[in-house]
Structure 1
Amino acid sequence: MNLEQLEFIVEVARAGTLTQAAHNKHMTVAGISRSLSFLEKELGVRIFNRSRTGAVPTPEGQMILDKAAAILSQVHQLQAEANSYGKLQNARLRVATIPGPVSLLVDTLTELKKDFPGIRLEMIEKGTKEIIEDVRHNRVDIGFILFPDTILEKNACWHAEPLVEGRMVVGVSRHSALASAKSISLNQLADHQLVLYHDEYIARFIATLGDSVNVLFTSNNIDAILKAVREGIAVTLGTDYTFYGNPDYENGDIVMVNAELPGEQPSYLWCIHPKEQPYSQAAYLFVNRLKMQLNRRR
């Protein structure tokens, strides 16, 4: 059995006669008839009742025709998608993101660039409010932000897709006594200095913990934060996916420990884009590959 045979039987059913089907397919009637006979013999089923007036599907043949049509439809979709990927060689994708998932995004960008060398990818780190404004004014194609609830889905200005629910974790040096702990409570956290990224969500969360936390410094420089943690000067607080793909976490210099914190609400990594503009092919492919990265690491 091959796709050509499936195309032939679908065309016979559509045309109603072998003569018309042969004409539509630029084949001889004998060629169409022979292909049909071979397929019926292979399947052990008569697909058409043939007569001088035409070809009518048998009940069993109609079931085969329905499946053949579905298979051909999927093949055509696959061909169309493959053709659209060819256009990605000259595509441009502008991405804005909070710093947390940068390592994951870089891995995704690298993977995409290997498959499509001609694609132009631009990525910039910003705060949540700035990213929302950039998306609103079409200065970027997609933005990645951290937000605690589902109100983003209801916004009239952009489309928002939750990619992953993050859980709050503490990043500690592998030499820290906390590195072997299964979880860290608020009381334990109070005994250590914190270095934090200057982000609206993290700031709001820290504010809910009151005076029980000791913040050494906040910074927009993620490398400075990781260096302080790696050298055991302080610990940091963030969502689990912010560590995925980070070299310090991947090689074991920084250990991720679950945080047991009161009042913690679910938070999500969201992908947002202008509501009036659906995903471009490049954005769609990028987001799907990012989802694969997240699934592999969770």
Structure 2
Amino acid sequence: MKVNELKAEAQIYSDTLSGHLKIAAIPGPMHIIVKVISGFKMDFPNVKIEIFEKGPKEILDNVLQDEVDIGLMVSPEGLSDQHKGVVFEKLMEGKIVVGVHPHSPLALNTMITPEQLAGQTLVIYDDHYIQDFVERYLLKAGPMNILFISNNTRAIENAVAAGLAITIGMDYSFIKTFEDSQKIMKTIELRSSDQHTPGSIVSASKQGSKTVRRFINRLKHEFEEGIRRG
């Protein structure tokens, strides 16, 4: 049995994959996706990969029109029922977290409510889902000052590290590869009264090719390992 398992594993890596893999993704998990692409290209150099950063609606449209092979997005409840021709596969569960300076009074909490954030200064990533969440839930709970909106993660981290602001995002957006991340920011789960807030990253595709399947499996593994490492 062990020999057969080893043969099967060897066959997987001896397969020569080629072709063109197009991926569209929301901004949050982009750093994880790039890491997976790096390893994937080393093992399968004949696969040409293109990745596009887009909003969820555009991603779904691209999948439906066969313009991309894999779409990675936060999936609202019932989305899979609306599009029968698309295969939705959950890659990970996510949750909204607040990023604060480790010495902030907010850092003493194990969970934060939107009401506790009233009056805070906020910096957020330029992401449609996060901006929509801020408008629908946080600003209704109390006034907040938005210092800036940017796709520059270093600028956001620097603002939090300097104690100028707090930030929010999906927990997987804060997965770091360096050990001293805890010195810069502490993340705390945000409790929302909305029970239907989407919180899972899914891959949406219309093709079941070997290349697509292998890439999705690697991505799922990296998500799981990243959350485990914290």
TM range (shorter): 0.7 to 0.9
Q: 1:221 to 1:159 in 2, by over 3 A?
A: same
Q: 1:182 to 1:76 in 2, by over 3 A?
A: closer
Q: Specify the alignment match of 2:221 in structure 1.
A: 292
Query: In 1, Cα distance between the equivalents of 2:115 and 2:150?
Result: 27
Query: In 2, Cα distance between the equivalents of 1:238 and 1:261?
Result: 13
Query: In 2, Cα distance between the equivalents of 1:249 and 1:290?
Result: 24
CA deviations over 1:109-144 (Å, ceiling 9, x no partner) = 122223233432221211111211222222221011
Gaps of 5+ in 2: none
**Selected match of 2:84 from 156, 159, 174:** 156
Query: In 2, Cα distance between the equivalents of 1:245 and 1:119?
Result: 27
Q: TM-score, normalised by structure 2?
A: 0.81
* Aligned residue runs from structure 1 range 213-224, under 5 A: 213-217=143-147, 219-223=149-153, 224=155
Matched, 1:207 2:135: yes
Tell me, what secondary structure is at the counterpart of 1:87?
coil
Q: Specify the alignment match of 2:69 in structure 1.
A: 141
- Higher relative contact order (CA closer than 8 Å, sequence separation 6+): 2
Structure whose alpha-carbon radius of gyration is higher: 1
- What is the identity, as a one-letter code, of the residue corresponding to 2:159? A
- What is the identity, as a one-letter code, of the residue corresponding to 1:114? M
Query: In 2, Cα distance between the equivalents of 1:80 and 1:246?
Result: 31
Tell me, what secondary structure is at the counterpart of 2:41?
helix
Residue correspondences, number = 223
* Aligned residue runs from structure 1 range 257-296, under 5 A: 257-264=188-195, 265-274=197-206, 277-278=207-208, 280-296=209-225
Q: Specify the alignment match of 1:183 in structure 2.
A: 111
Q: Specify the alignment match of 1:231 in structure 2.
A: 162
Contact 2:102 2:182 in 1 (8 A): no
Q: 1:171 to 1:161 in 2, by over 3 A?
A: same
After superposition, the CA RMSD in angstroms is 3.0
Give the fraction of aligned pairs with identical amino acids, expressed as a percent.
31
Higher helix share: 1
- What is the identity, as a one-letter code, of the residue corresponding to 2:146? L
Shift of 1:76: 7.8
CA deviations over 1:133-165 (Å, ceiling 9, x no partner) = 222222221011112313235413422112112
Query: In 2, Cα distance between the equivalents of 1:251 and 1:182?
Result: 15
Q: Specify the alignment match of 1:21 in structure 2.
A: none
